[in-house]
């Protein structure tokens, strides 16, 4: 399955894929020419966020390499989720939020006029803290994104639904009951359904905002396994409160901290996960990781 995703992502398949709009196909072509390398890398330079006049994040520089897992850690209220929402411009929906600095996805400024948030969100999917399937069937949940893109052909939708559900390791459990209402699934299954729903638009990046915090240990394990498989084909940025989880699943870890309620949050340190958890450069990182605060 992962190989299938890989092939489709890297090879000529996306160009010729019948479901793509002409415009989209053309963009894929130019993007591919611009960077023949693997897609799905973010670059943040001097990113700041303000809610009204309240500056909450300041001066974040970060490189997110493609096909890797980046974990954002830090105490509650340090702006991890806010920073995550910058990456698919979901902050736009909150109103009263201003994002400064520069964020590029594969070299293209996502905050500029050239980037339509609707198109961005098809390339950068999101999985939320609490499972939030739509009140409709399993099938319709997964098909929601592709249908939004204008895909109508049943065979094509069927294939996307199957591929996406396999991608989130839910296929075997639901393949016989795709017409079942999504609310009949368990919490962990619902969250994997939400991952499948995000996969169905064939994103390059998936943002996860504490995706396992509302789940039991077994479901958490399944989500983590899914993430480990997915990083072969997509970039994952995950916010987590659980440091063992960050250590287990991520390649790179970023530690954010708001040192006082008046001051905005900063990125204290970012680096290879193994190094961050064994030998961090900053004493604040070390005290957070060893549980001295937060």
What distance in Å separates the CA atoms of residue 294 and residue 291, rounded to the nearest whole number?
7
β-bridge partners, 42: 64, 105
Residue 144 interacts with other proteins (CB under 8 A): yes or no:
yes
Considering the rule CB under 8 A, would residue 135 count as an interface residue with other proteins?
yes
Which of these segments, 75-83, 112-120, 171-179, 257-265, binds other proteins (CB under 8 A)?
A: 112-120
Residues in contact with 210: Cβ distance below 8 Å, sequence separation at least 6, in sequence order? 81, 129, 239, 240, 241
Choices 104-112, 130-138, 165-173, 222-230 (CB under 8 A): range interacting with other proteins:
130-138
Q: List helix spans (H) across the chain.
A: 2-10, 13-16, 22-34, 80-86, 117-123, 138-148, 154-167, 171-174, 187-199, 217-230, 243-249, 273-278, 283-289
- The yes or no reply on residue 52 touching other proteins (CB under 8 A) is no
Element at 205 (helix H, strand E): strand 205-209
**Does position 121 bind other proteins by CB under 8 A?**
yes
> With CB under 8 A as the contact rule, which of the stretches 53-61, 106-114, 124-132, 231-239 interacts with other proteins?
124-132
By CB under 8 A, tell whether 198 contacts other proteins. Answer: yes
Contact 108, 41 (CB under 8 A): no
Contact window for other proteins (CB under 8 A) among 44-52, 75-83, 143-151, 213-221: 143-151
Place of tokens 């915090």: 213
User: Which position among 12, 21, 46, 134 is part of the footprint of other proteins (CB under 8 A)?
Assistant: 134
Least Å distance, CB 206 to other proteins, is 10
Q: Which two tokens stand for residue 77?
A: 């209220």
Residue ranges that bind other proteins, judged by CB under 8 A: 88, 90, 93, 95, 118-122, 125-126, 128, 130, 132-136, 144-145, 148-149, 181, 183, 194, 197-198, 201
């Amino acid at each position: 399955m992962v190989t299938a995703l890989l092939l489709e992502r890297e090879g000529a398949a996306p160009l010729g894929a019948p479901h793509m709009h002409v415009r989209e196909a053309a963009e894929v072509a130019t993007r591919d020419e611009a960077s023949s390398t693997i897609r799905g890398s973010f670059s943040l330079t001097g990113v700041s966020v303000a809610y009204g006049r309240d500056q909450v994040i300041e001066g974040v520089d970060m490189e997110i390499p493609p096909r890797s897992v980046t974990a954002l850690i830090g105490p509650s209220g340090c702006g991890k989720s806010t920073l995550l929402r910058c990456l698919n411009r979901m902050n736009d929906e909150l109103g009263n939020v201003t994002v400064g600095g520069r964020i590029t996805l594969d070299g293209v400024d996502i905050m500029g006029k050239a980037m339509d948030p609707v198109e961005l969100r098809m390339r950068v999917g999101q999985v939320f803290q609490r499972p939030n399937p739509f009140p409709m069937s399993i099938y319709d949940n997964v098909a929601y994104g592709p249908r939004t893109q204008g895909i109508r052909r049943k065979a094509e939708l069927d294939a996307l639904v199957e591929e996406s559900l396999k991608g989130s390791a839910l296929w075997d459990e639901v393949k016989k009951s795709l017409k079942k209402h999504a609310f009949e699934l368990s919490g962990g299954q619902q969250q994997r359904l939400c991952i499948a729903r995000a996969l169905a638009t064939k994103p390059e990046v998936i943002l996860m905002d504490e995706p396992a915090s509302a789940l039991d240990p077994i479901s958490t394990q399944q989500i983590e396994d899914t993430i480990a498989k997915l990083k072969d084909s997509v970039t994952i940025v995950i916010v987590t409160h659980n440091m063992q989880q960050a250590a287990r699943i991520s390649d790179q870890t970023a530690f954010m901290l708001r040192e006082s309620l008046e001051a905005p949050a900063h990125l204290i340190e970012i680096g290879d996960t193994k190094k961050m958890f064994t030998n961090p450069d900053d004493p604040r990182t070390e005290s957070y990781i060893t549980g001295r605060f937060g």
